[in-house]
Each structure stands twice: as C-alpha cells, then as structure tokens.
Structure 1
Amino acid sequence: MTKLDLMVVENFTSKSQIQSKSVLDEFRDRVQSNRKTSGYNLSDQLLLQFLSSREYNQTEALTILSNYLTVVNERPDLFSWREELKRVANDGIYVHYPINNVNGSKVVIIKPGSWNPNVISFEQWFPQTLFFCEISLMDRSVQQNGIIGIIDMRNLSWSQIYHIGVSGSRLASHITDYCFPWTIQSAHLIYENRLTNMAFNLFKPFLSAKLRQRINFHGSNLETLYKFVPKSNLPPSLGGTNQEFSGEFYNNILDQHKQSVLDHWQSLRKRKVSN
C-alpha cells in the first residue's frame, strides 16, 4: 500500500461511508472482469474513491476508473515530475487554493493569461495540475464535495489560445472531466474579454453535457461569483478577504507530496496480463 493509499484510508472509517463490503466486492469483481481494468493491483481505498465519486454507481465508476488507468499508462510524460513544474505556481497559472469552500469543495484557480507560451509549453506545465489533483483527492471532503473552478480571463491573448489548440483542449477536458474521481460542481469564468468565446469554443466540444450546464459567466461582476464561493474563501486577487498564498507556498505542498503521488502512479503501471 502506497503512502497515498494510507492517507486516503484514514478518511474511510465508518460503515456508513463504505456502505457495505458486498458493494466493494461486487465492484472489484467487475473491475477484474473488465478487459481495460483487469490485472491491476488496485487497493480497496482507490476503488472506494471512484465509487464514492459517482455515488456508488458502479457503471459510471468503472468508466472513470478505466479512463484514469488508461491515461496514466499511456501518457507517462504527463504523469511524471520535473522541476520546471514549479514555474506554474510561481507564475500564478494554476493552483488549488488551500482554503476549501464552505461546503468542503476545493477551489481551483486558473489564470491562463499569466502563462507565457514562449517560456513553457502547455504540455510542459499541464502535469503540475495532475499533481495538485491527486493531492487534493487525499482530502475526503474533496472526494465527497468535488471541486469548483474559477477561470480568470484577464490578460488572455491569442498566443495562449493558439498554443493550447484543439489537442490541448481535448487533453485537459478529457482528464479533468472524465478521468479523476471527483465531481466538478461548477466552473466560473470571470473578467471575460473578446477572446473568451473563442477559447471556450475550443473546450466546449470535449466537455460533458453535465459540465457545460454548470459553467457560469460573471464578467467583472464578482458579486454573482460570491454566491457560489464567498469572499471569505477567496484570495484578495479575486476580491476575497482571505489570504493570498505565494508560489513558494504551493511549491512546498508539491515538494511535500510529490513522492507519494509518484509512488501511486508507479503502482498503477504494474499490470499482470493473462495469457
């Protein structure tokens, strides 16, 4: 059992949370009989993450799990560490705000306008988002209550849209919406500019119908945003009254947990394929 598993299991202690062992056993049987998910040594804790993220709908949980295992194994270039990933938080491109929302969901703040494509490519910095996803999922409240995304469109330019392109939009949408064991409660675009529709239309075809219905456009009127996430749970850069955390703070979180995440991903690459 990896350190990540041990951190997760602490959050599954009551029978009401696990529901019943028979459900878990049934799901494990389905996993092992499925061509895409058989042969992996998957812990009970990991299976419970996927089950609980889909309210114990085994069919939906199996689909997400299959997608997750596939992308971890097919894209080792993304699910790996390199020091340049620290630039992402230093530049304020993507962070998981450490203060959870009032309902326990994780607030993810994305500022694509802070990204300089001439310095780091999209696929070079995207792995940082995967580390933060795994770290946030160590928190049982995030597993239960999901995430809320806030996309700050200030300073968005044609350069960022061009360098993400269709392939980057497809990749980010697929992994975020179809692979991780959580629910995206809502997404909020703020300070939209004339390029926002172009950027949104890049991602829209690859998003699930459910997520498309949960996207909100606020313009510069952040009072409507605060109905979803109050000021007390946001940094001053978004008009909030809580703390602004530095890139160094977020990178310290990465340093603290990166080996646990890497060990977890490596454990998913040890598949026994029957002859």
Structure 2
Amino acid sequence: MSGNGDGTVTSPSEATLPRVEVLPEQPKYVCTLSAELIAKAREELQEKPEWRLRDVQALRDMVCKDYPNLGTCLDDTFLLRFLRARKFDYDRALQLLVNYHCCRRSWPEVFTNLRPSAIKPVLESGFVTVLPHLDSEGRHVVCIRPGNWTPSNYPITENIRAIYLTLEKLIQSEGTQVNGIVILADYKGVSLSKASHFGPFIAKKVIGILQDGFPIRIKAVNIINEPRIFKGIFAIIKPFLKEKIANRFFLHGSDVSSLHHNLPPRILPEEYGGTAGSLDISAWNDLLLASESDFLYDAAHLAPSSDPSPDAPLMSAEVDEKQCDDSLRSLKTQLYYCY
C-alpha cells in the first residue's frame, strides 16, 4: 500500500491478498452496551441501534464485493469493531479492515504464532499490563514500562507482540470499542542501549498499525518519568503521528500530581502516587494467558502471508525519508549529550 497526501492509504490489489477460508457464520450479534454507552455511541460514533445490523451488513457486502480474497472474519461482532473505530463511515471502516489484515501480513516477526503463551516472558517482565480499575471515562489504562525490558533476553518485536495481544483482548469489550483506551507509559530506567533499539523503522510500523491498522480509539497517552533522551525518541515518533493523536500526548516528567490531572489517584497504583495498592501484573497476565483460545482463529486464518505485499500500510501517509534521517540524527545527538 502507498500513502496519499490526504492521509489515506491506497488499497492493495486483490492479487496481493491470499485466499483464506472464512469461518462459518457466527451467532447473531447481541448488544451488551448499557443504556448510557448506547447513548454515548449514538452521540460520539453516530451509531444508531436501529440501523446497527444494517450498517454491519453494508460493510460485509463491501468486503465480499471489493475484497473477496481478504480472508477476514465476517461476523457481526468483528465487523462492528471497525465501524465504531471509524464512526460508521463505511469507506473508512473498510479501509481500516484491509489495513488491519495487510499490517498483519507484512510483519511476520510480529504476527507469526501470535498468541499469549508465545509472549509469556514479556508478560512476566511486567513490560505491559492493564490496570485493574477504569478511569473516570470508563476507559482501560494500558501501562507500558520499557525500563522492564532486558534487550539481551528477547528482541524488541516481542514487546510489540505483547502490546498487540493486549489490545486485541481489550477490543473484545464493546465498552472499550465505545470508550477507547488510555496509555500510561513509564520511561523510568530507559537507558541509552534500550533507546537505540527504537528507530524510525520500528516507529513507522508501530504507529502505522495503531493509527490506521487497528480498530481501537486511543484517547490519551500519558508519559511519566521520561529521561532527557525522550525528546530524541519523540522526535522519531512525531513525524508519523496525526495531529489529533500528537495532541493527546502528555509529558509529566516525575511529577505525579501532573499525572493525577489526567488519571485519578484512586485508579493508580502506589508507584504513581495512587491509592489502588501496589502495581500487580499477575491478574492481567492470568487473564490474557487464559484467553489462548480467543486467538486460535488468528493463528489458523490470519497468519502472515509468505509473500506479503511490499506496499502494506504501515503508516497513514508518506513521510519524507529525509525527515526520518533528521529524526535519527537528532536522537543520536541528544543521546551523546545526555551520556
């Protein structure tokens, strides 16, 4: 896929997508949203309960007509994720669905054998977890701690796999589909050696997936305990961010009171000045590892193609290569002066 100037991604030709057998039709959708969330979805996502299944069928018809070889799940609950993520705009939801599959097929290091048991060492390290309490807007808080990663133990792509599986599990909830999520990234302990593993190539792919290849609404990214080198890391990230997403980044430094303006202390662990007890990763790890069967469909039917499209959508728009090089040089310069 190639990016256009307006931020859209050009769809691949049918020939680039391998034929994969679609699973038998699943039971009809039954709404699990509360009355409050139904009202919120109507207001924010243009979701009308009386038209919901009609909209899902419209997207299904578009997939069957335009991408008969996409090899996607076509049940109501799966397609509804993409409609909600794009506020029930059929064309944008279809593009997101195609991007979702092409992203998976273009990065085999991440998406081959993608199941919780395969990333158990990452989970046990505490690199990524989900806090047990929702924020005041009903959103899950995904806590990412890069400082817990030991590069000699496994490559950075294993961390990305763990984050992706976490998001896949969260998006199964209709409440998450409507409310979105919040990210809390703690950069305490991120050293020069760790930062050097995260360059423009990885940044472009990860952000491309999160912005244009996954049906989730990221409502805020709170960064805490960021070292001086984070300015260099953010310089690499920023060229790939849409303005709307870039404006949702909040840098708090070591000031937990600043963090509390965005996330209330009652949901935060003691490590971040909260009152919810010590950070415990075991509950989320157990939940994710017990969900192995949820990912059997992905393993059997959405495995990366052996010959993925070279134009798979890894970002929302083309970014000047010189911009990437400048960002990398900026990071190297800052790292030099920080150490």
Give the TM-score range, shorter chain: 0.7 to 0.9
Residues 177/224 of structure 1: CA separation in 2 closer, same or farther (3 Å cut) = same
Aligned to 2:88: 56
Q: Would you say 1:71 and 2:103 are equivalent positions?
A: yes
Residues 166/241 of structure 1: CA separation in 2 closer, same or farther (3 Å cut) = same
Offset, 1:249: 2.7
Aligned to 1:88: 122
Residues 28/91 of structure 1: CA separation in 2 closer, same or farther (3 Å cut) = same
Other structure's SS at 1:55 match: coil
Alpha-carbon distance in 2 for matches of 1:166, 1:193: 19
**1:102-129 Cα deviation digits (max 9, x unpaired):** 2111111111122111221101232111
Other structure's SS at 1:171 match: helix
Residues 67/240 of structure 1: CA separation in 2 closer, same or farther (3 Å cut) = same
Residues 18/106 of structure 1: CA separation in 2 closer, same or farther (3 Å cut) = farther
Query: Is 1:152–1:191's contact at 8 Å kept on the other side of the alignment?
Result: yes
User: What TM-score do the two structures reach when normalised by structure 1?
Assistant: 0.86
Offset, 1:69: 1.2
Residues 29/142 of structure 1: CA separation in 2 closer, same or farther (3 Å cut) = same
Alpha-carbon distance in 1 for matches of 2:50, 2:135: 24
Identity %: 26
2:74 corresponds to which of 30, 42, 48: 42
Aligned to 1:197: 231
Query: Is 2:119–2:162's contact at 8 Å kept on the other side of the alignment?
Result: yes
For structure 2, list consecutive stretches of 5 or more residues without a partner in the other structure.
1-21, 39-46, 306-339
Q: Would you say 1:214 and 2:248 are equivalent positions?
A: yes
Residues 247/222 of structure 1: CA separation in 2 closer, same or farther (3 Å cut) = closer
Aligned to 1:151: 185
Superposed counterparts of 1:104-143, under 5 Å? 104-143=138-177
Q: Would you say 1:167 and 2:201 are equivalent positions?
A: yes
Please say which structure displays the higher CA radius of gyration: 2
When structure 1 is superposed on structure 2, of 104-113 and 28-37 the one drifting more is 28-37
Question: For this pair of structures, how many residues does the alignment match?
Answer: 269
Query: Is 2:145–2:185's contact at 8 Å kept on the other side of the alignment?
Result: yes
1:255 corresponds to which of 289, 307, 310: 289
Aligned to 2:221: 187
Backbone CA RMSD of aligned residues: 2.9
Aligned to 2:32: 11
User: What TM-score do the two structures reach when normalised by structure 2?
Assistant: 0.71
Alpha-carbon distance in 2 for matches of 1:6, 1:147: 27
Query: Is 1:91–1:247's contact at 8 Å kept on the other side of the alignment?
Result: no
Query: Is 2:125–2:148's contact at 8 Å kept on the other side of the alignment?
Result: yes
When structure 1 is superposed on structure 2, of 239-248 and 214-223 the one drifting more is 239-248
